[in-house]
Amino acid sequence: MVQKKGRIFSGMRPTGRLHLGNYLGALKSWVELQDDYECIYCVVDVHALTTLESVQDAKAIVPNTNEMVLDWLAAGIDPNKSIIFVQSHVPEVMTLHTLLSMVTPLGWLMRVPTFKEKLRQMKANDETVNYGLVGYPVLQTADIILYRGDTVPVGEDQVPHVELSREIVRRFNKIFGNTFPEPKVKLTESPSIRGLDGKTKMSKTLNNHVELALSDDETRKRIMSAVTDPQRTHRNIPGRPDICNVYSLHKIFNERKVNEIEQGCTSATLGCVDCKMDLAVNVNKHLAPFRERRTALANQPDLVQAILTDGAKRARKIAKSVIAEVRGKMGL
Ligand code: SF4
């Protein structure tokens, strides 16, 4: 048996069908990591509740989980290699969250840059922000260490979160004795995928995304709506590929032709319509096997539930032994 390098824990909020940004930013690496690490992949449904806006948001969690896990499986997350489960199906995570909150100073949480950013986006302040959102990094730490995860694959922007998890672990270990490994960051290669509007990151909320599971025709329509170089108002004006999001997608999905596209764009011999059509053809070609697998998986109605039930059973086995140890160390 091949010796694995460690145990990965990673999670995604149940946002429903995934898009190109999710795939290139995380899912693709998740699939690759399965060969070298024991991987535990979690649908973090409790995290989704921290920014809940209505009861409809809560009711969408189960169908969104189903759609998202279909994407995971179709992309190559293999339940025979990895544990795939839903966060709340292992209630021990709530226990560990509470216990870790006893060793986590509030100041550490208030200083997290993404927390401040979230407050700004939500137009919230100390009086209106919910406790769950403040404690988000504590729950995230519980997620990782409950399964003795020692490696967390993240992009550059998530590094401070893992650093905070390490601080919480250090503090716990210092008070109660060495219990958990300090989780390490594994920086993943994730090209920054802007949205079709070209300005921000690809996001379902901003409706500037391309879902992986779209039909060829829907994909083409979405890509044809993409913003390109704003200075290129006429076909005979040379374009600037380096600032064009369509070009950055060509670099990923049409690698073979990037030089030709760059040359055509800068010399104004290639028009944006043709350039986008070409991209759509290549994105569809790239996603065809994924889409075929996804359709076949979706035709097995109980499959996702069966995989998640089995995953929760396997995850809970680890969680129970960890909680027993923690309770013992804390004298409970
Ligand atoms: S030709 Fe292609 S790369 Fe150039 S601006 Fe138009 S869409 Fe962008």
Question: Is the CB of 275 within 6 Å of ligand 1?
Answer: yes
Terminal Cα distance for the chain, rounded: 39
Question: Is the CB of 150 within 6 Å of ligand 1?
Answer: no
Question: Is the CB of 15 within 6 Å of ligand 1?
Answer: no
**What number is the average pLDDT over the span 167-195?**
91
Task: State the Cα angle at 299 between 296 and 301, rounded to 5°.
Answer: 135
- From the CA of 247, give the closest atom in ligand 1: 3
> Which residues have a Cβ under 8 Å from the Cβ of 55 and sit 6 or more positions away?
none
Q: Which residue has the higher pLDDT, 205 or 200?
A: 205
Q: Which range is least confidently modeled, 21-25, 92-96, 101-105, 154-158? A: 154-158
**What number is the average pLDDT over the span 2-28?**
92
- From the CA of 264, give the closest atom in ligand 1: 1
Report pLDDT for 1.
54
CA of 253 from ligand 1 middle (Å) equals 15
Percent over 70 (pLDDT), the chain: 99
Instruction: Place 157 in a pLDDT band, splitting at 50, 70 and 90.
Output: confident
Write out pLDDT tens, residues 283-314: 999 999 999 999 999 999 899 999 999 999 99
Domains with residue ranges and CATH for the chain: 7-193+301-329 (3.40.50.620), 216-295 (1.10.240.10)
Report pLDDT for 332.
94
pTM of the entire predicted model: 0.92
Q: Which of 288, 316, 300, 298 is nearest to 68 (CA)?
A: 298
Highest-confidence segment of 57-61, 118-122, 187-191: 57-61
Q: What are the residues facing 42 on neighbouring strands?
A: 11, 85
For the purposes of burial, counting CB atoms within 10 Å of the CB of 215, is it exposed (0-12), middle (13-18) or buried (19 or more)?
exposed
Report pLDDT for 2.
61
Integer Cα distance of 146 and 160 in angstroms: 20
DSSP assignment letter at 4: P
CA of 229 from ligand 1 middle (Å) equals 7
> Which residues have a Cβ under 8 Å from the Cβ of 256 and sit 6 or more positions away?
none
For residue 113, the tally of other CB atoms under 10 A from its CB is 10
CA of 234 from ligand 1 middle (Å) equals 11
Integer Cα distance of 4 and 115 in angstroms: 34
**What number is the average pLDDT over the span 173-186?**
95
Q: Which range is least confidently modeled, 8-22, 127-141, 142-156, 211-225? A: 127-141
- From the CA of 244, give the closest atom in ligand 1: 8
At residue 134, what is the residue type? Answer: V
Protein residue closest via CA to atom 7 of ligand 1: 272
Which residues are the active-site residues? 118, 201, 204
Q: Which range is least confidently modeled, 14-23, 127-136, 143-152, 178-187? A: 127-136
Question: Is the CB of 232 within 6 Å of ligand 1?
Answer: yes
